[in-house]
Amino acid sequence: MRYRIETDALGEKQIPAEAYYGIGALRSKEAFEITKHGLLRQMIKAFAEIKKAAAKTNLDLGLLDKQVANVISLSCDEIINGRLHGQFITDVLQGGAGISMDKNANEVIANRANEMLGGEKGSYHLIDPNLQVNLNQSSRENVLIAGKLASIRLTKKLLLEAKKLSNAYEDKIAKYELNKDEPLSIGQELSAFNEVLERDIKRTDAATDELTLINSNYYSATGVEANPLYAKKFVKYVSAYASQDLSLAKNTVENQRNLDAFTWLSSALKNMIMNLSKVATDLEILESQGKVKLPKVETGDSPVVLEMIKQVSFYIMGNDLTVTRAIEAGELEDNVFLPVIYACLFESINLIRRAIRTLREKTIEQMTL
């Protein structure tokens, strides 16, 4: 394998010659091989959208050369469209508030932009990851915004799956012409299952509202105040590129200091899976009473799908506690525990989505009376 040499404050390091990541990302990967899970693609896309928005904002304000801004934007577009995701190598769980995730994005975008201009990877004379790709940005704020965008997107996917389960309940009631109003009927039971699910869908959807409030991400090493147009333009552009309505937080200190929006979402997720676990228990009881017949997924009489739902519920409750404690542990405007908040929150969303799909496909849709 061929290598190139990159240098930072800690010294020199060999980087694979064909790699788009740089020395910052590689140091982080080597230091934090914890979960051995990289960033989710929703998080990677969010970083690219943030960098593209910042480049366009800096261009509009005359702070970035047009050619430089254009190649940065083109590099970001490639990442948004699914390219170069394998070049994001930092572990999802890391120290330093997760800013190595942002460094990784800066390096990949800079190297691809340099390549577009005819330069070589690792030679940042044309496009520098810090001076141009990360121009006027706070890496900590970028990590926070990216996490909010990823959380919203993952939650939307979860809610689509939850709605399919809701429709499956309704279809079952209609197929067997079950009376929702007859006391203690199967129709009434399924209707109750659906009603609590619909309530959880609304709660979880509402929990994402606070995540749409962001700061401008502006940072000046000289302490100079941001151009008042920067924040307005940045929020406008990142909203457009991410296809998500975002708003500038009225109190930037509060928005940095309090991450309770993530707590709200985590709590809503816990409620959803807790209620689904209760449904799993009730289905077992209804089958024991001879009121429904549940499909067998594996050999034997064990209701394995329903057991799985309960195990996911136990797991999510642990994740919710971790999210809550990590948010509580923040100090002033900094919370160095963002990586574990994201790791648990994203895992919870994906686990619940898959559990709901399995419950619908393997149990509810195949259930007979």
pLDDT value of position 296: 85
| Residue of 91, 111, 113, 89 whose CA lies nearest to 17 | 111
Tell me which H or E stretch contains 5: strand 3-8
Q: What proportion of the chain, given as a percentage, has pLDDT over 90?
A: 84
Cβ neighbors of 76 (< 8 A, separation 6 or more) are 48, 49, 51, 52, 55, 109
User: How far does CA 169 lie from the centroid of its chain?
Assistant: 29
Task: Kindly indicate the confidence band of residue 257, based on its pLDDT and cuts at 50, 70 and 90.
Answer: confident
Q: Which domains occur in the chain, in start order?
A: 12-135 (1.10.275.10), 141-214+251-364 (1.20.200.10)
Encoded tokens for 31:
């230091």
Cβ neighbors of 154 (< 8 A, separation 6 or more) are 40, 42, 346, 349, 350, 353
Phi, psi of 238, rounded to the nearest 5 degrees: -70, -30
What pLDDT digit, counting tens, does each position of 274-330 carry?
999 999 999 999 999 999 999 987 766 678 999 999 999 999 999 999 999 999 999
Please report how many Cα atoms fall inside a 13 Å half-sphere around the Cα of residue 276, on the Cβ side: 37
Task: Kindly indicate the confidence band of residue 222, based on its pLDDT and cuts at 50, 70 and 90.
Answer: low
Q: Are 271 and 203 in contact (CB under 8 A)?
A: yes
HEC string for 227-273: CHHHHHHHHHHHHHHHCCCCEECCCHHHHHHCCHHHHHHHHHHHHHH
Q: 43-57, 143-157, 227-241, 299-313: which range is least confident on average?
A: 299-313
Provide the H-helix boundaries in 302-337: 304-328
Q: Are 73 and 116 in contact (CB under 8 A)?
A: no
Cα–Cα distance for residue pair 283/180, rounded to 1 Å: 17
Tell me which H or E stretch contains 16: strand 11-16
What pLDDT digit, counting tens, does each position of 61-115 carry?
999 999 999 999 999 999 999 999 999 999 999 999 999 999 999 999 999 999 9
Q: Are 185 and 178 in contact (CB under 8 A)?
A: yes
Q: Are 133 and 72 in contact (CB under 8 A)?
A: yes
Mean pLDDT of the chain: 93
State which of 137-141, 144-148, 217-221, 299-303 shows the largest mean pLDDT. 144-148
Cα–Cα distance for residue pair 47/101, rounded to 1 Å: 9
pLDDT value of position 243: 97
Q: Is the per-residue pLDDT at 184 higher than 90?
A: no
Residue count (the chain): 369
Q: Is the per-residue pLDDT at 220 higher than 70?
A: no
| Residue of 94, 77, 95, 76 whose CA lies nearest to 39 | 94
